Chain A
Amino acid sequence: MLIEKDMNLADVLHHDHNLIPVINRFGIKLGFGDSTIEEICSDLNINLDFFLTITNTYHDPRYFANSHLKSFDVYLLVDYLKQTHKNYLNDRIPYIARLIKQLMEDTTEHKASMKLLENFYKEYVNELTRHIEREEKVVYPYVLKLEKAIDTAVFPDELTRQVKTYSITDYEKEHENVEEKLFDLKNIIIKYLPPTSNQNLCFSIIHELFILEKDLNEHARIEDTILVPKVESMEYVILNNKS
């Protein structure tokens, strides 16, 4: 399904309810009646093209190829990525932690195994949090500085030095280890956890982990295929302007 501006947002969500957290990141809350995407975006002052690009990308992995994303301001993208981080850290991850805690409290005979699971999850969360913090403290501010320099045509020497000493390409490869831990977590629950009586709770946990994984993959794809090329071209402009 191609998501278009004159579509009813409610219909779109009936088709793909995984988009609910995505629209939340734009500040849209459920309860919008029969409004179209265009109406909602104009009410909330959301950049319509950017909204359509993100929702379509998220909905259909093949959408990317033919889009013309490059024309967006980078700060919109950075803002969206930050909202996504907030959603992980404040909502999704604590929710899964509560489910795992409940699983531990519900079992009597396998407490030790459940405790191991809980600790492993905590380790995963710590790693993910460190990764997110690095992006927010180092990568995004750098990206915004580049955009500001180009917009105002003012190129401080310090920034040029920064561009020369490290480039955005270094950040592309960082997602890997975090992904491996999540992969292990799913396999441990599916294959190696001692059978518990509360299988439905296990299902809820696995379901949440799969959704989180998909979301993280989309997130990484947006960073690698939109943010990185965009920043590379800004780095190029700045270096050539100085020399």
Chain B
Amino acid sequence: MAKATRVIIIEQAYLLASGLEALVGELHGVYVEHVYHGSEPNLTEKVLGHKPDIIIVDPNSLGEQFFSIMKAFQNETDIKVVGLLSDNAPNPIKGRFSHQLNRNHCKFDLLEDLKKIIGNDLEKKPSHNQKLSNREVELLKQVCLGLTNQEIADKLFLSVHTVMTHRKNITKKLGIKTVSGLTVYALMNNLVDIREVENRG
């Protein structure tokens, strides 16, 4: 699974905010983390505190603070700041945004625009090879036999750090987080013998 793309919306108008939320919700792996009205005190700190990937801003919701808040957002180069604009938005405002969504567009166009803005993050979705490598299978067996990370490292001549990386990858590939869940998987697939598991200390 790819990392989720997190979106913050700044929109005072309830209908527009709900519409934006619904639009974002159409995309797999993209979530609205929070909706702000725009008039909250310390808005910039609050928004950046979420460490969002994308901020969608309606300039109308920010009023006079617009330029100062935009400046703060643009210092964060990792975050894409998207303006929700109408056809007749004045140029000084339009010019502030490197990305835009047009309020007057139909759903299809908006989705395409949003996909383009999110871009690479969205395409990276599932890595196609979800099968465990031989090394990972070997490691999984040791986990099921009840060995600690240190014991596995000693046995397989790896560093503890490498063992942990392997374990993370196994969990990511299989979608199983707990040791007993991994054991069930290994047993069902005959990777370990039930008698060995029962003898673990």
Contacts and interface: CB of A to CB of B under 8 A. Distances in A.
A associates with B = yes
Interface string B176-201: 11101100110111000010000000
Interface residues of B, number: 13
Bin the interface of chain A by size: 10 to 19
Interface in A143-202: 177, 180-181, 183-185, 187-188, 191-194
A120 B175 contact: no
B177 A184 contact: yes
A183 B185 contact: no
B178 A192 contact: no
Task: Specify the main secondary structure of chain A where it touches its partner.
Answer: helix
A159 to B, nearest CB: 36
Nearest to A191: B175
A194 B198 CA distance: 22
B184 to A, nearest CB: 5
Contacts of A194: 188
Interface in A80-125: 112-113, 116-117, 119-120, 123
Task: Specify the main secondary structure of chain B where it touches its partner.
Answer: helix
Contacts of A120: 180-181, 184
Nearest to B180: A123
A185 B181 contact: yes
A181 B178 contact: yes
B184 A188 contact: yes
Contacts of B184: 116-117, 119-120, 184, 188, 192
Nearest to A185: B181
A180 B188 contact: no
A181 to B, nearest CB: 5
B37 to A, nearest CB: 12
A119 B194 CA distance: 13
Contacts of B177: 180, 183-184
Contacts of A177: 178
Contacts of B174: 187, 191-192
Given A116-B187, A116-B188, A193-B188, A188 B176 contact: yes
Given A180-B177, A187-B176, 13 more contacts: A112-B194, A116-B184, A120-B184, A123-B180, A177-B178, A180-B181, A181-B180, A183-B177, A184-B176, A185-B181, A188-B176, A188-B184, A192-B188
19 contacts: A112-B187, A112-B194, A113-B188, A119-B184, A120-B180, A120-B184, A123-B180, A177-B178, A180-B177, A180-B178, A184-B175, A184-B177, A184-B181, A187-B176, A188-B176, A188-B188, A192-B185, A192-B188, A193-B188
